[in-house]
Each structure stands twice: as structure tokens, then as C-alpha cells.
Structure 1
Amino acid sequence: MKNIYLITIMLVLAFFGCQDDSYDAPNEFSDTGFYTSQGQKPLEINIFEYISFTNLSRGYIDHKWTIDEGNFFLKGPFKSRDSSEIFEQKIINPGDTTSTDKTIHVYFKESGQQKVRLYNVFDEYVEFRGFRDGSPYTLAAEEREGNWVIDTTFSVKVYDTIIPEIQIKQNDIVIEHESNDTIYVEAGDFLEFTDITTIGEPTDRWWFIRNDLDEGVEHQPDDVIASSSDEVAQIIFKRLGKFEAGVNVSRQGQNIPGDFDQYLVPRPIKVIPSSKPFELTGDIVELEDETISVPFNGEFAPFINKESFFEVEVNGTVFPVASVTINEDDATFLDIVLADPIYRPDVITVTLLSGSGIESTDTRTPVAFADAPVIMHDVNLLGDVFGSFEDFGAPWQPFAPAWGANEGGLEWTDERAYHGDYSMKMSMVNGERCAAEVYLDDPIIFEAGVTYEVKYWMYVESRDVLPNEIGLWFLNEWRQFWNSPDKPAGQWLEQSFEVTNAQPLARLYFRILGGGQNYVAYFDNFYIVKKEVRP
């Protein structure tokens, strides 16, 4: 009996291009085996490309290769820059689907799952030993008509060429986009672009809106005024003018053969003055540098010295405005800077008085408004990943300390949440203990002598008998923030603590201990921030 081993050797395509198709396997190879120009990677390739296969078996009395119809055998040698035009010239025996050569070069002209079959016949029993999905396996030869056969089929995933296909909607109505007629859009309105490409199995796309230039003028990156990578992109047109829309559709990823194509919408887009009021849209927010950002539904025309038309109240007192300017990156935003510092706990409102003389680029006058609230800038030092449970609780994990594993119910659920969609749920029926922990990617370094606020939100669903303790711990220093379980049911309540001179925080530990009966509570939005106090 002969033992047969699968030998897969990484070779580049150029190696096969230099080989003679009557290649004889070196003596040191085992009795059977093969290699491909793809090496150990999955057999995945773009259409109109080729893969080389070599039969390394010895001692067989017959063998043949078989390929699916629509694909072809090529005659080498090849050069690294050879294209499909060259491959077409090197097709041998068009229409043949079998070959007895030791080395074959298969030119794939059909997309989808394609098969290449190697059929080896021996005059004695053999076994084929190899690896599949990281595990060894043995394939015994089958007896057929007095001989022994090893029958191997390679499955090749052939990716078609990407052909972009899109859909455009205006006011929820699909519009035809392949003519040359102009699409008219009012300033501040949007078009909805949808990537419906299927041919070529794309993984990514990038929509872009750019200035419509004269024929022959080369586009520059600065010509792009809006973009999106969303499969369904609602792109707002804020600036008057004539524009061009397009999309880059691509396929990319580890071990996936890449491809790319661009589609330019032949219909130009012309943005005209809006018939809607020029007004505040969305939330006014404080930025990290204490700038107050005010969003409108259109772009502002340049102006100067309009500070007197903006009143900003901080904790009920009007503060002097140092400047009001148009945001440099997005002219639909006004940037307000106060003469005095502002602090996170401040309650701030903004009022725009009438008669400012400010206009949009399409000559509209902004609608006055009064006492619009400002959302203050906030930074959770834990970050969204560690401070919430949106990724099904990850990276939080159950905690099993010396007193044993969790006995009560511990889960991350979308049954209710204070922020986002998920929260942590802990349940006790007969006094069971529950605990969870999370390791931070980077420790939080606390400044010496500075006070920090520590918060989380809690919702009690039921509470027949109270547990003994609810505690949040800073590890590795084992500093506990104790919280009374005696909370009214049916409402989210903030739990707040302060800490000064804490050691670097690399791990959080949270638990409920002792005695609870039918006690069910949800926890969400763990939060650490440097405390700010207005002097």
C-alpha cells in the first residue's frame, strides 16, 4: 500500500509562466499531490483571469483534468502584465474540456462556482491524506474496474466584473437617471441615492457630488462638495450651482480578488433657490473648544459685525458675544464664541433677533427664534464601547470571583435602555449573586487633585425583597462606589459619585450581592468625566 499526501506549495503566477507543460515532478515529492498558483489561499479569482494546476502524482497509469464548459485551457508562457486580450490569443483547443497534461492553465470566462477535476488512476490501493478546514483527513482510493481511483474536484469562486447599478429618488419618487435632462433641486433639499449593484458582488461604494466642469477640464479633489459611503445615501444640496453625481463601486477584502468601477450620472443637477423658510434645523451644540454651533437649512452669504443680533443666556444671564462667523468647513453652520468661558453644567440658550440683514446664498432671510437650548459638549472617558452595551454587551463579561460564578440572571438585552438599544439586566430570585466586568483597552489616567464624576443609570423592574448591595468597583485598587438597592420601580434614575486621586483605571467590576427576592434591574450608560464647576 502506498501512502499519499497532499502537498500544497505557494507559487506565484510567473513561475507557472516559465514552466513547460510536460513538467516532471521531482523525486522528493510523495506519490501523489498537486499544487496551484493560488497556493494555500481559497481558490477565488476575477473573471477573465487564470489559475495554474499541476498534478504531482507518481505511479499513476492514467490521469486527466476536466473543466466546466465556457472556460478554456491556455498555452504558456505568460508575462505578469498579460491581459485578457493576450489570454484570448493563447486559448488552445477551443471547446475542449479535458486535458492529460501534467500542468494546465485554466482561463475562467464564466462567473460563479466553477469546477476543475483531477482524475488519477492507479494499479494498486492508495490513500490520499490532506487537510481540510485546518483538520487532517484521509481519502481512500475507490476500486473501479480493477483499478484504484483518486477523484479530486477543485471548486473555484469566479467573481464577475462589477457593473454599477443605482436608483435615484426625489421626494420619494424614483426618477429616471440615464437621460441628459437636468435634475432641479431646491437648496436645502436632498436626493436619495441607492446602490442596487449585484453583478460583481461589491462590498463598498462611495457616492460623490462634485462641481460640473466644462468638458475637458480635469476634476480635482476640492470639486467634491458632498459624499457618502452608505448603501442608501440622502445627500443634501446646500449650495447653488450645477453639479455632477457619481458612485465608485468596489469589491475588496482579505483573500477576495478586487475590482472597481465608476458610474457617472449623465443628468446634471442644478440647485436653485429654495421656496422654504431659511431656518434653524437640528440641535444647537457646544463644541469641544466652547464654540456654539448653530445649524440652518441652507448656506449663509458672507457677513460681518452681526453679533448684536444674537443673545446668549448662560444660567439665565445674558453673556457678551465675542464673534458670530460662518463655519469654514460647512457654510450652513454659524459659529458663536462668547467673551467668557462656559462650563459643562451651564444651561445655555440662543436667540436670533429680527432685522439682522443676514441672508442665505439663495437670498433668503433667516427666521428669528428665541431661547433655543444648547446641548453642552460632553466626553465620557470610558467611551461608547465600554460605557454602554450596544454591541450585545461586548466587551463586558460575566465575572466569577472567589465566591463563585454568577448564580442569578445576567444578560445584555434590548428589552429597555436608557441610551441606545441595549442595557445590562441583572435578576435575583432567591438571593443569587450577579457580577460583570470589563477590561479597558487603554487605562484612564486621573489627574492628581482633580475631581471626577462617576455615573450610571438604573431601572428597577421588580423588587419584592431588596438585595444587600449594589456596587461599582474601580480595579485594580478595589475602590467601591456603593449604591442603595432601595429605588422606586419603573423609572430610570441617575446614580452619581465623585472620586479624587484615583489610581489608573484599567478594569471595572459591577455586582449585586445578597438576599434579594424577585429583584430585577437594568443598568446602562456608565460614565466618567472630569468635574467642571463654574467659579
Structure 2
Amino acid sequence: MKNKVIIILLMIAGIFTSCTDNTYEAPPAFSDVGWYTSAFQQENFVVAKGQFASFTDASVGTLDHTWTIEEGNSFLKGPIALKETKFDSYIIYPGAVETTDKTIHVYFKNEGFQKVRLYNTFNDYVAYRYKTFAIAAKAAVVAKAAVPATGDAPAVPAVAAAPAVVAVPRMDAVLPAVKVGDKWVIDYTFNVKVVDTIVAKMQVTQTVAGVTTTVSHQNATDVITIKKGTRLQFIDLTEKGDPTTRTWKIGAATLTLNNTAAIPNNNNGLLIFNTVGDFKGTFTASRASTAAGALPNDTDIYNIPATFRVVP
């Protein structure tokens, strides 16, 4: 009986052995391209000066891989604490502008548009598919006064002014690899807008008898004289910080301008003075934090040195 059991087991083992190939077959080579950034799916990549952004190359099957940044910016070593505000101690590869690390944290110390370049090569063709925005503009509507009925012609109602409308439907886009020699190349550059802190700067103009002139306001000895019920034009000349709200306060008079989709740079307006007297004023330029927190809240208040004198 024992011999029969051994024979049966040997037969079963023989069946499995005959059906099994002991030779290891490596899986086919696979190439693909992909990446992640701390901007997620935002169309615009915006970072405050002195902050960092993260980039991860998720590609597989690369032959060559390089991240390149601009001089003046730095690579940081992660992980970085969420509440960290100073990053100099995290700097790695001082002075370097290239690395083969898969994930990089770029410390932006230069303002303006900064480039972060990803360069990968592959044995096989690859393509990166992503979402983008198609912009379609609709012309603004010009206001028209109502026209009363005359004779046989019917009355024409008034037409209210309407700002230009911009539609932004999402659509798929493809970044294909390009054949260079015997390799397929993905060469992509992220354009990151680095915004500095706000430094408020302004201008005042006055129109008298149809002539508009710029009025000096920078000196404590400047006196801007205007008649009650007339107005001055205030213009925001701020060059740094991308403010989204501007507010002028002169005595009890206040002018506030906010950026909107229709007026993305709403930077000048008129302020009427209805109270007689001498007044001092301020100009406040500010921006609210973006949804993703890339740009923090920021405000700069400029105390206008000039005196505004409103006469009867």
C-alpha cells in the first residue's frame, strides 16, 4: 500500500513538472512618461518668492533623466515640515542647476517667470496626456441709450454695457516624445510665476478745464488743492506682489478697486471730495491667498505724504 502511494505522488509530480518551464522569462520592457507637481491640476503655476514647489518624475523605463532649474534658485532636501518658513538649511547641491533625483523641491529666490525643465529619454515612443484650457473670448457689449418711438418706427430699449466674457472649457492635450537619434525624448519646461511681496506705489492725476496733469504727492510739503464736489484720479503703479485689491482713503472718502474676471487689472478710479478741509490719506495694496495656498495673503500700506485740501 505504501508503495502505491509513493507511485501516485511521483506521477502527480511528473505531471506538474512536465507542464512547467523552469526557464525565467523577463517581462517585456515598458516605457511611460508622467509627473506630479505641487500645483496639481492648476492651469497657472504660481509661487511666492522665498517659497518652494515640488516636482516628481513618475516616468518608467527612462534611459536618461535630468531636472534643470535656473541659476539663483536652489534644490531642497525633503521632507520639509509643513509649518517651515525658512528653507536655507534644507539646501542641497549648493550652486547646482541640474540633478538626476526623481523628486525635487525647488526653492525660488528669483522673482518673475522661472523655468524648471524635465528631460527624459526612452527606448520606446511615449506621450504625456494632460488637461488644458481652451480660451474663447466673447466681445464686450457697448451701452446704448434708449431710442423713443418716432412715426412708424417703434421704440428701441436701452442696452446695458456688458464686459467681455472668457470661456475656459477643459480639453485633452498630448505631449509626444520626439525621436532624436536612437532615443525618444520628452523635453518639457514648467514656467513658474514667482511673485514678490507687495510694495505699494501710486499716482494721482487731476483734470482742470479738460487738461489732465500728474500731481505731486511724494513730499510732506505737497498740498493738493481741489474744489468741493470735484474729483481726482488715483492710479496703482505697484510693480511687485500682484495685488488684487486697491483701496485709497482720504479723510472720509474711500475708493476700493477689486480685480475681476472682466477687469483682471482694475488699477485706477476716481474719488469725489464732498467735504471741505485738509485731509491725509493712505493707499493699501493687497492680495488674498490663492485657493491652493501658493500665494499667501499680503498687504502694503503707503501713507501718502501730501495733504489734500478741499476748498468751497
Shorter chain as denominator, the TM-score bin is 0.5 to 0.7
Could you say what secondary structure the match of 2:205 adopts? strand
Deviation at 1:66, TM superposition (A): 0.7
Residue pair 1:142, 1:148 contacting (<8 A) in 2 also: yes
* Pairing of 1:311-330 with structure 2 (within 5 A): none
Matched, 1:151 2:152: no
Q: How many angstroms apart in 2 are the aligned matches of 1:128 and 1:270?
A: 62
Residue pair 1:2, 1:126 contacting (<8 A) in 2 also: no
Deviation at 1:178, TM superposition (A): 2.0
Matched, 1:192 2:233: yes
Letter in 2 for 1:234: L
Q: How many angstroms apart in 2 are the aligned matches of 1:195 and 1:37?
A: 32
Q: 1:150 to 1:235 in 2, by over 3 A?
A: closer
Task: Pick one of 209, 213, 223 that aligns with 2:250.
Answer: 209
* Cα deviation code 1:452-499 (max 9, x no counterpart): xxxxxxxxxxxxxxxxxxxxxxxxxxxxxxxxxxxxxxxxxxxxxxxx
Corresponding residue for 1:66? 68
Corresponding residue for 2:117? 117
Deviation at 1:250, TM superposition (A): 3.0
Corresponding residue for 1:37? 38
* Pairing of 1:115-514 with structure 2 (within 5 A): 115-122=115-122, 124-133=123-132, 134-170=170-206, 172-181=212-221, 183=223, 185=225, 188=228, 189-210=230-251, 225-230=252-257, 231-251=267-287, 257=295, 260-269=298-307, 271=309, 274=311, 276=312
Residue pair 1:2, 1:127 contacting (<8 A) in 2 also: no
Q: 1:177 to 1:34 in 2, by over 3 A?
A: same
Could you say what secondary structure the match of 1:38 adopts? coil
Letter in 1 for 2:273: F
Q: Percent identity?
A: 35
- Residue ranges of structure 1 left out of the alignment (5+ in a row): 5-30, 211-224, 277-535
Corresponding residue for 1:53? 55
Matched length = 231
Letter in 1 for 2:129: G
Taking structure 2 as the reference length, what is the TM-score of the superposition? 0.62
Deviation at 1:63, TM superposition (A): 1.1
Corresponding residue for 1:75? 77
Q: Once superposed, what is the RMSD of the aligned Cα atoms?
A: 3.0
Q: How many angstroms apart in 2 are the aligned matches of 1:182 and 1:138?
A: 59
* Cα deviation code 1:362-388 (max 9, x no counterpart): xxxxxxxxxxxxxxxxxxxxxxxxxxx
Deviation at 1:140, TM superposition (A): 4.2
Letter in 2 for 1:41: Q
Could you say what secondary structure the match of 1:178 adopts? coil
Matched, 1:107 2:104: no
* Cα deviation code 1:405-441 (max 9, x no counterpart): xxxxxxxxxxxxxxxxxxxxxxxxxxxxxxxxxxxxx
Residue pair 1:239, 1:271 contacting (<8 A) in 2 also: no
Q: 1:226 to 1:59 in 2, by over 3 A?
A: same
Deviation at 1:166, TM superposition (A): 0.8
- Residue ranges of structure 2 left out of the alignment (5+ in a row): 1-27, 133-169, 258-266
Deviation at 1:241, TM superposition (A): 4.8
Q: How many angstroms apart in 2 are the aligned matches of 1:178 and 1:113?
A: 31
Could you say what secondary structure the match of 1:89 adopts? helix
Letter in 2 for 1:72: S
Deviation at 1:163, TM superposition (A): 2.5
Tell me which of the two structures has the higher relative contact order, counting C-alpha pairs closer than 8 angstroms and 6 or more residues apart.
2
Q: How many angstroms apart in 1 are the aligned matches of 2:173 and 2:269?
A: 48
Quick check: which has more Rg, 1 or 2?
1
Taking structure 1 as the reference length, what is the TM-score of the superposition? 0.38
Q: 1:175 to 1:61 in 2, by over 3 A?
A: same
Q: 1:60 to 1:184 in 2, by over 3 A?
A: closer
Could you say what secondary structure the match of 2:84 adopts? coil
Q: How many angstroms apart in 1 are the aligned matches of 2:177 and 2:125?
A: 6
